[in-house]
Amino acid sequence: MNGWTLGTPALVLALAVFVVLLLLLEASYLLWRSAFGPEARRLAQRLQLLAQEREQARAVVLRQQTLGGPLAAWLERWPVRAGLDRLLLQAGLRWRAARLLALSPLAALTVFLMARLLHVSSAGAVVLGLVAGLLPWGYVLLQRQRRLGKLQKQLPDALDMLTRALRAGHALAPALQMAGQELSEPMAGELRLVHEEINFGLTLAQALAHLGERVPLADLRYFVVAVTIQRESGGNLAEVMDKLAQLVRARLRLLARVRVLSSEGRLSAWILVLLPFLLAGLLVVFNPTFMRPLWTDPIGVVIVKWMLGLMLLGVLLIQRIVRIRV
């Protein structure tokens, strides 16, 4: 009994120390979670988006392409500038039209001079220069295609989120803002831009029309037309968006199925294009004298030119055959 009495303070002290340590650990964990946890990171990301979206949207909406030099004056007088700006905006690139127009001749001239320094013939150097001059345009078109593909895949999720927001009682403009905060890029940036245009004084129809110009997708234009008709004649916009989301998903599934069914034709096109060059390369390595007349003899040069032209024509025909619009 005396041993138990003497050991009780030590037991109580150990228990108190254990409780204090446990509370300290829990407090440390809660502090760490509030500062670095997933909810804190999500909140910080939202605050950062809210801080940056107005400045970014203003830069895009009120963008002035003030490009110094004679090229800017030339672009101001010709309507080509609007088309180039729209192309760069659809590609998601922060380039200016003058930069694209300057990169093409610069790349062409650089490659032409390098080819001449390497003792390439004048015709070959010109061809290489033309190909190099087209590379910036090809890069812009590739980025545009990739960005539009991402927007096409994100459109059903965006419509679902707008539908849920409308059914919860929100108006369309706040629903666009919510979708712009929750979705991922590039759809989030487009919806935030629509919301910012409305805040800057544009009507909903004008902001949606600008969205249709920036994102030339048939499904998104259906959304713009549906919203415009609903604003004029009334109706259940949430139900329309729900049906449109189902339609877009069905089209995407059908398009994926078509791509699978046409994969054999596309593979055949790649084989038909690459096989002649592969065989020519092997023959040049193992029997160069046999292939030399193709670029030394005038008749061989003519044969090569006709062969490349017919191959290009065949590629275009196969591409039209395997391309099925859904």
Q: Which residues contact 89 (CB under 8 A, 6 or more apart)?
A: 60, 214
Structure-token match 């670095």, residue found: 36
Question: Longest Cα pair distance anywhere in the chain, in angstroms?
Answer: 118
Residue 180's pLDDT is what?
83
Read off the pTM.
0.63
Q: Are 131 and 139 in contact (CB under 8 A)?
A: no
Residue 60's pLDDT is what?
47
The alpha carbons of the chain give a radius of gyration, in whole angstroms, of 31
Regarding whether 240 and 169 lie in a shared domain, the answer is yes
Regarding whether 292 and 218 lie in a shared domain, the answer is no
Phi, psi dihedrals of residue 318, rounded to the nearest 5° = -65, -35
The domain boundary residue, chosen from 189, 221, 249: 249
pLDDT in tens, 98-153: 777 888 888 888 888 888 888 777 777 787 888 888 888 888 889 888 988 888 88
Q: Are 273 and 311 in contact (CB under 8 A)?
A: yes
**pLDDT for 82 beyond 80:** no
Regarding whether 134 and 155 lie in a shared domain, the answer is no
**pLDDT for 22 beyond 70:** yes
Residue 32's pLDDT is what?
76
Q: How many domains does the chain have?
A: 3
Residue 186's pLDDT is what?
85
**pLDDT for 53 beyond 60:** no
pLDDT tier, 49 (very low <50, low <70, confident <90, very high otherwise): low
In a domain, 119, yes or no: yes
What is the Cα–Cα distance from 155 to 161, expressed in whole angstroms? 10
Regarding whether 116 and 130 lie in a shared domain, the answer is yes
Query: ∠ at Cα 112 (87, 115), nearest 5°?
Result: 135
Q: Are 128 and 112 in contact (CB under 8 A)?
A: yes
In a domain, 82, yes or no: yes
Regarding whether 244 and 159 lie in a shared domain, the answer is yes
In a domain, 289, yes or no: yes
Regarding whether 164 and 230 lie in a shared domain, the answer is yes
In a domain, 182, yes or no: yes
Residue 258's pLDDT is what?
80
Q: Which of 213, 210, 214, 191 is nearest to 202 (CA)?
A: 210
* Range of lowest pLDDT (60-69, 209-218, 283-292): 60-69
In a domain, 48, yes or no: no
Q: Which of 235, 181, 231 is nearest to 208 (CA)?
A: 231
Write the DSSP assignment of 110-165 as a string of letters: HHHHHHHHTT--HHHHHHHHHHHHHHHHHHHHHHHHHHHHHHHHHHHHHHHHHHHH
pLDDT in tens, 204-257: 888 888 888 888 888 888 888 888 888 777 778 888 888 888 888 888 888 888
What is the Cα–Cα distance from 320 to 80, expressed in whole angstroms? 29
Structure-token match 């303070």, residue found: 9
Regarding whether 168 and 105 lie in a shared domain, the answer is no
The domain boundary residue, chosen from 147, 181, 206: 147
Average pLDDT value for the chain:
77
| Domain assignment of residue 283, given as a range | 262-322
Q: How many other CB atoms are there within 10 angstroms of residue 54's CB atom?
A: 14
Helix (H, G, I), strand (E, B) or coil at 277: helix
Regarding whether 209 and 165 lie in a shared domain, the answer is yes
What is the Cα–Cα distance from 199 to 180, expressed in whole angstroms? 14
Where are any strands of DSSP class E within the chain? none
pLDDT tier, 59 (very low <50, low <70, confident <90, very high otherwise): very low
